[in-house]
Amino acid sequence: MARPEDIRALLERHVAPFREADALARESVEIARSRQAAEERDRRRRALLDILSLVNAIFFKAYQLDDPGRWRCKEQLDLHSHLIDIGVDLQWCRMLAGAGQASEAVSCAVQARSEVEAELRTLPSAT
């Protein structure tokens, strides 16, 4: 007849591989979550840097003009498109995308640049 300690040892031998598999599965899930978070951070960073590049391009095009009339440039349309799925309300960038005069665009671009840079600073750092 088997003693209680023999039964416990037998059970422990049969359960050990499942415990190891569970630990490996948990570790794999944690690695996948970390990778996903890093990829999302990098995607958002690239998107914000693309927006910042457009803001700067609009600023320099508008700054060079001395025309109080209506004014638009291709980068404003591109900026509008980039803002669609960024997932952050960048109010000054939206105003810049719709600015209809060069002076308005310059003013909005200065604020938009600060707005995007502030958003970049909120991103978690790479580990």
Q: Residues with Cβ < 8 Å from 11, sequence gap 6 or more?
A: none
Is a pLDDT exceeding 90 seen at residue 4?
no
| Alpha-carbon span 36 to 16, nearest angstrom | 30
| Backbone torsions φ then ψ of 84, nearest 5 degrees | -60, -45
Express each pLDDT in 45-101 by its tens digit: 999 999 999 999 999 999 887 667 788 999 999 999 999 988 899 999 999 999 999
Is a pLDDT exceeding 70 seen at residue 120?
yes
Residue 127's pLDDT band, with cuts at 50, 70 and 90, is: low
Better pLDDT: 17 or 45: 45
| Alpha-carbon span 70 to 122, nearest angstrom | 35
| Alpha-carbon span 54 to 78, nearest angstrom | 8
pTM (predicted TM-score): 0.74
Q: How confident is the model at residue 44, as a pLDDT? A: 92
Q: How confident is the model at residue 125, as a pLDDT? A: 80
Locate the domains of the chain by residue range.
4-122
Torsion of CA 8, 14, 18, 21, to 10 degrees: 120
Is a pLDDT exceeding 80 seen at residue 118?
yes
Rounded to the nearest integer, the mean pLDDT of the chain is 89
Nearest partner of 50 among 80, 23, 27, 22, judged by Cα = 80
| Alpha-carbon span 76 to 74, nearest angstrom | 5
